[in-house]
Amino acid sequence: MTRILFVRAGKDNKLADDFVKLGMVAVGWSRLDDLSSASSDTVKSMLHEKYPDGIKVNGDLKEHYAEIIDFAVEAKIGDRVATFDGKSSNLVVGTLGQYKFLPVNPLFSGNERCPHARDVTWEFAVRREMDGPYSFPETKKMGRPLTG
């Protein structure tokens, strides 16, 4: 079954341009090491060890560990991925590639680096119109698939 994974483009969607230019998506969880051979249970154990009190989001404590498990373990090559580009109001959609651990990844969200990445072939962008709450009338092809 093909999944659609939504990956936020960092704080305030500021990484959307970088995601498209680099042909990838990336997430934080910088206390975790390489997850390329980890199972869901292994990641859960690592999360509880490295983030014993959960994480803070907007000042509130959250335990939304499913995000990194979906990203690194559950999602498969060939699944769909989407991210939102707030600057252009586009939902950008592509196809997921391989998970990679990039400890020196230059992408940061807030003050946290984003070492967990996946290759993406970006395929099209859908303009988010404000005419209605579920209106996406304009779709454009991304041109030649981008690679990292």
Measured CA distances, 74 to 81, 99, 143 (Å): 13, 11, 29
The torsion angle over the Cα atoms of residues 116, 60, 53 and 35, rounded to 10 degrees, is -10
How do residues 69-109 score in pLDDT, each as one tens digit? Answer: 899 999 999 999 999 988 888 889 999 999 999 988 788 88
How do residues 50-62 score in pLDDT, each as one tens digit? Answer: 887 766 655 554 5
Q: Are 25 and 120 in contact (CB under 8 A)?
A: yes
Q: What residue has token string 């390489």?
A: 34
How do residues 98-140 score in pLDDT, each as one tens digit? Answer: 999 998 878 888 888 999 999 999 998 887 665 555 555 555 5
Residue ranges covered by each domain of the chain: 4-32+76-141
Q: Are 120 and 93 in contact (CB under 8 A)?
A: no
